[in-house]
C-alpha cells in the first residue's frame, strides 16, 4: 500500500485528531456543558417554557411544510434534469443550486421586497389585511428559499448514474409517469432521497439569518428555535439558550451521522 510510513501516519493521525477536536468537537462539547451547567432538571424546565414550546412548534411546522414542498419540487426537477436531454438544462441546474450561494440575509430580504410594507405587493396586502412579512407565511417563504436545493442536489447525481433504462423498461411494460416514478425510480433512489430530506430538514430547523429578517421577533408568536436562542442569549438566560442550542446540535449531529451512513450505503449500492 502506498500510504505513509508508520511514523508519518502517526503524525498525520495526531494532527487530524487535534484539528477535529479543536475545530469541530470543542464547540459541540461546550454547548452540552453550558446547557447542563445547572443540572439536567433546569435544562429540561427551560424547554417547557411557553415561549420555548411555541418556538419549537413554529419551527416544526415551518420545516415540515418547507421540506414537503422542496422534496416534491426536488424530485420533479431531478427527474426532469436527469431523465431528459434538452437545451437550457444547465441553466435549470444552476438556478436550482443558486440559493446555496445566496446569503441567508438576502434570502430574507427578497421576500420583504415583495411582501414588506415598502415591497411590490405590500400596499395591496395591507389593504386586505393579509400578513405575510413579519408573520408565519414570511418565515415559511424564507425557509423555502434557504432549503430549496438540497433534495434536488442529492438526488441529481444519483439519478444521473441510474440512467434511464429502468424507467424505459417500466414504461414499455405499461407503467405511466407517476407509477414509474413511485414504483421504480424512487424506491431505487430511496437512500439518496432520504439523505436529501434529512439535510433539508436540518437546514430548515436551523435557519437563522433569513428567518431573522422576515420575523417580527415576537416571542411566543413569530420566533423559531434559532431566533429564540438569540433572544435568550441576549437576555443573559445562558442555560436556556444553550439548552435549546444543545437540542439543535443533537439534531445536527444525528443528521450528519445518518447521512454519512446513508451515503456509504448508496455509494455501495451504485458501484
Partner 1 sequence: MSVQIQSLTRRAPNASRKMLDGVSLTIEDGAFVALVGPSGAGKTTLLRTIAGLDGPYEGTVLVDGQVLAGRPMRERRIGFVFQNYALFRHMTVARNISFGLDVLPRGERPDRGAIAARVAELLELIQLPTLGGAYPDQLSGGQRQRVALARALATKPGLLLLDEPFGALDPIVRRQIRRWLRGLHDQLGLTTVLVTHDHDEALEVADRLVVMQNGRIVQEAAAETLDAAPATPFVMEFLGEALEFAGRVAHGRFLPDDPNVLSFAVSAGDGPATAYLRPHEARLVAAGGAARAIPLTGGQGGLRRLAVALGTREVEILVLPERLGQAGTEGLGLDIGRARLFRDGAPLAGAPPVASGQELPRVTVG
Partner 2 sequence: MVFCLRRRDGLPGLSISIAFTLVWIGLIVALPLTALVLRPWQEGGGAMLRALHDARMYAALRVSFGCAALAAAIDVPLGLLLAWALVRARLPGRRAIDALIDLPFALPTAVTGITLATLYGPTGWVGALLARAGIRVAYTPAGIVAALMFVGLPFIVRAVEPVLRGLPPELEEAGLLLGASPLQNFRRVILPPLLPPLVAGFSLAFARCIGEYGSVIFIAGNQPFHSEIAPLLIVVRLQEYDYNGATAIALILLLSALVCMTGVAALRRRVSRGLVARGAA
Q: Which three cell numbers stand for residue 228?
A: 429564540
Partner whose footprint covers residue 47, from partner 1, partner 2, none (CB < 5 to 8 Å by kind): none
Binding-site size for partner 1 (CB under 8 A) equals 20
Contact predicate 186/72, CB 8 Å: no
Q: Is 12 in the site for partner 1 (CB under 8 A)?
A: no
Partner whose footprint covers residue 190, from partner 2, partner 1, none (CB < 5 to 8 Å by kind): partner 1
DSSP 82-96: HH---TTHHHHHHHH
Partner whose footprint covers residue 45, from partner 1, partner 2, none (CB < 5 to 8 Å by kind): none
3-state secondary structure of 176: coil
Rounded distance between C-alpha atoms, residue 187 and residue 76, angstroms? 15
Q: Is 183 in the site for partner 1 (CB under 8 A)?
A: yes
Partner whose footprint covers residue 48, from partner 2, partner 1, none (CB < 5 to 8 Å by kind): none
Q: Is 80 in the site for partner 1 (CB under 8 A)?
A: no
List Cβ neighbours of 254 (8 Å cut-off, separation of 6 or more).
Answer: none
Whose cell is 429502468? That residue is 166
Partner whose footprint covers residue 207, from partner 1, partner 2, none (CB < 5 to 8 Å by kind): partner 2
Q: Which of 18, 169, 253, 254 binds partner 1 (CB under 8 A)?
A: 169
Please list every residue from 146 through 165 that binds partner 1, using CB under 8 A.
Answer: 165
Q: How far is the CB of 176 from partner 1 (least distance, A)?
A: 8
Q: Is 91 in the site for partner 1 (CB under 8 A)?
A: no
Helix (H) or strand (E) holding 271: none
The closest alpha carbon to 31, from 235, 239, 207, 258, belongs to: 239
Partner whose footprint covers residue 174, from partner 2, partner 1, none (CB < 5 to 8 Å by kind): partner 1
Partner whose footprint covers residue 106, from partner 1, partner 2, none (CB < 5 to 8 Å by kind): partner 2
Q: Is 173 in the site for partner 1 (CB under 8 A)?
A: yes
- Sequence length of the chain is 271
Rounded distance between C-alpha atoms, residue 135 and residue 223, angstroms? 9
Question: How many C-beta atoms lie closer than 10 Å to residue 11's C-beta?
Answer: 11
Q: Which of 3, 6, 23, 87 binds partner 1 (CB under 8 A)?
A: 87
Q: How far is the CB of 96 from partner 2 (least distance, A)?
A: 7
Only one of the segments 71-79, 127-135, 175-183, 213-221 lies at the binding site for partner 1 (rule: CB under 8 A); that segment is 175-183
Q: How far is the CB of 222 from partner 2 (least distance, A)?
A: 15
Please list every residue from 232 through 271 that binds partner 1, using CB under 8 A.
Answer: 269
> How many angstroms separate the Cα of 82 from the Cα of each of 72, 92, 149, 167, 245?
16, 11, 15, 12, 38
DSSP 90-131: HHHHHHHHGGGGS-HHHHHHHHHHHHSTTSTTHHHHHHTT--
Q: In the complex, which residues of this chain contact partner 1 (CB under 8 A)?
A: 85, 87, 165-166, 168-176, 179, 183-184, 187-188, 190, 269
Amino acid at each position: 500500500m502506498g500510504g505513509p510510513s508508520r511514523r508519518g501516519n502517526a503524525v498525520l493521525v495526531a494532527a487530524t485528531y487535534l484539528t477535529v477536536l479543536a475545530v469541530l468537537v470543542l464547540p459541540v462539547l461546550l454547548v452540552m456543558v453550558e446547557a447542563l451547567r445547572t443540572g439536567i432538571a433546569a435544562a429540561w424546565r427551560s424547554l417547557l417554557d411557553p415561549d420555548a414550546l411555541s418556538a419549537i412548534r413554529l419551527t416544526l411546522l415551518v420545516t415540515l411544510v418547507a421540506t414537503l414542498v422542496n422534496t416534491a419540487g426536488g424530485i420533479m426537477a431531478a427527474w426532469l434534469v436527469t431523465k431528459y436531454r434538452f437545451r437550457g438544462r444547465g441553466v435549470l441546474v444552476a438556478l436550482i443550486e443558486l440559493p446555496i450561494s445566496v446569503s441567508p440575509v438576502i434570502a430574507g430580504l427578497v421576500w420583504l421586497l415583495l411582501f414588506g410594507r415598502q415591497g411590490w405587493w405590500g400596499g395591496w396586502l395591507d389593504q386586505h389585511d393579509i400578513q405575510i412579512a413579519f408573520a408565519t407565511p414570511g418565515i415559511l417563504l424564507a425557509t423555502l428559499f434557504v432549503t430549496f436545493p438540497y433534495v434536488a442536489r442529492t438526488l441529481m447525481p444519483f439519478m444521473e448514474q441510474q440512467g434511464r433504462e429502468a424507467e424505459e423498461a417500466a414504461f414499455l411494460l405499461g407503467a405511466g409517469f407517476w407509477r414509474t416514478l413511485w414504483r421504480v425510480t424512487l424506491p431505487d433512489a430511496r437512500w439518496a432521497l432520504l439523505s436529501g430530506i434529512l439535510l433539508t430538514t436540518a437546514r430548515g430547523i436551523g435557519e437563522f439569518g433569513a428567518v431573522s429578517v422576515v420575523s417580527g421577533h415576537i416571542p411566543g408568536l413569530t420566533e423559531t428555535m434559532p431566533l429564540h436562542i438569540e433572544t435568550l442569549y441576549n437576555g443573559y438566560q445562558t442555560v436556556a439558550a444553550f439548552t435549546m442550542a444543545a437540542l439543535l446540535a443533537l439534531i445536527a449531529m444525528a443528521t450528519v451521522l445518518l447521512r454519512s451512513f446513508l451515503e456509504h450505503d448508496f455509494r455501495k449500492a451504485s458501484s
